[in-house]
């Protein structure tokens, strides 16, 4: 079951109030029937008082069960609304993940993390088709890097989704090629079973558990 981030209108109080009115009406009807039964019973063969007690106990039990169900329904609605508020909190935030980012003319913030043994770190930028659009030598630090969309030809990259890798090497040999986390705006949040999935700008979908940071 999917739940999006739109907050629903609360209707939790309506079923409870309606059922309460029904219970009250049914109880009055029951009392009228009981009093009618008392007035019209055979005086030579009256109904055993124990039978009345059983009838009263049965009705009371049903009444309590209906009220309990109403309370449980109200509690479930409140929990659902609370969960919706949690989902809404994601929308508009910028999530840091390795799913890539959409370039829309503004800089894309990356968080490279070269290994300590590396003597060179190269940022490899790929478009949605997997083609390399640029290779940039980065300092051997964990400082954030803003890619401004410039390609290796000096032109500005087309608007679209890009992924980022860090190619780390030492003495001319590749040590590792790792995805570089980048920030993307969260445009929608959904609850799918026990998981929360985030829809990012550009259409990428990630698990909330895969988010490294928020801003």
24-36 tens-digit pLDDT: 556 677 667 777 7
Q: How confident is the model at residue 78, as a pLDDT? A: 57
Of 6, 7, 8, give the one whose Cα is nearest residue 187: 6
Q: How confident is the model at residue 126, as a pLDDT? A: 96
- Per-position b or e across 158-169, b if 16+ CB within 10 A of its CB: eeebbbbbbbbb
Q: How confident is the model at residue 50, as a pLDDT? A: 66
Of 124, 122, 81, give the one whose Cα is nearest residue 100: 124
Q: How confident is the model at residue 8, as a pLDDT? A: 41
The length of the chain is: 215
Q: How confident is the model at residue 23, as a pLDDT? A: 54
Q: How confident is the model at residue 201, as a pLDDT? A: 85
Q: How confident is the model at residue 141, as a pLDDT? A: 92
Check if the beta carbon of residue 151 is closer than 8 Å to that of residue 157: yes
101-181: CATH topology: Immunoglobulin-like (2.60.40)
Q: What is the pTM of this model?
A: 0.58
DSSP β-bridge partners for residue 108? 147
Spans of all domains in the chain: 2-88, 101-181
Ranges of residues in the chain with a pLDDT under 50 are: 1-3, 5-13, 81
Residue 37's Cβ-side half-sphere holds a number of Cα atoms within 13 Å equal to: 13
Q: How confident is the model at residue 92, as a pLDDT? A: 85
């Amino acid at each position: 079951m999917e739940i999006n981030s739109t907050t629903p209108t609360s209707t939790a109080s309506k079923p409870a109030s309606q059922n309460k009115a029904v219970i009250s009406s049914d109880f009055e009807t029951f009392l009228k029937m009981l009093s009618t039964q008392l007035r019209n019973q055979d005086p030579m063969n009256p109904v055993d008082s124990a039978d009345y007690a059983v009838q009263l106990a049965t009705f009371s039990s049903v009444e309590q069960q209906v009220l309990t169900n109403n309370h449980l329904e109200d509690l479930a609605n409140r929990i659902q609304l609370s969960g919706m508020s949690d989902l809404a909190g994601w929308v508009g935030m910028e999530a840091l993940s390795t799913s890539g980012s959409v370039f829309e003319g503004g800089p894309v913030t990356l968080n490279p993390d070269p290994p300590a043994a590396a003597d060179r770190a190269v940022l490899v930028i790929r478009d949605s088709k997997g083609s390399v659009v640029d290779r940039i030598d980065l300092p051997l630090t964990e400082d954030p890097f803003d890619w401004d969309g410039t390609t290796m030809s000096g032109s500005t990259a087309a608007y679209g989704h890009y992924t980022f890798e860090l190619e780390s090497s030492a003495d001319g040999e590749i040590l590792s090629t790792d995805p570089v986390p980048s920030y993307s705006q969260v445009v929608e949040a959904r609850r799918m079973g026990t998981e929360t999935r985030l829809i990012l700008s550009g259409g990428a979908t990630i698990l909330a558990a895969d988010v490294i940071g928020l801003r």
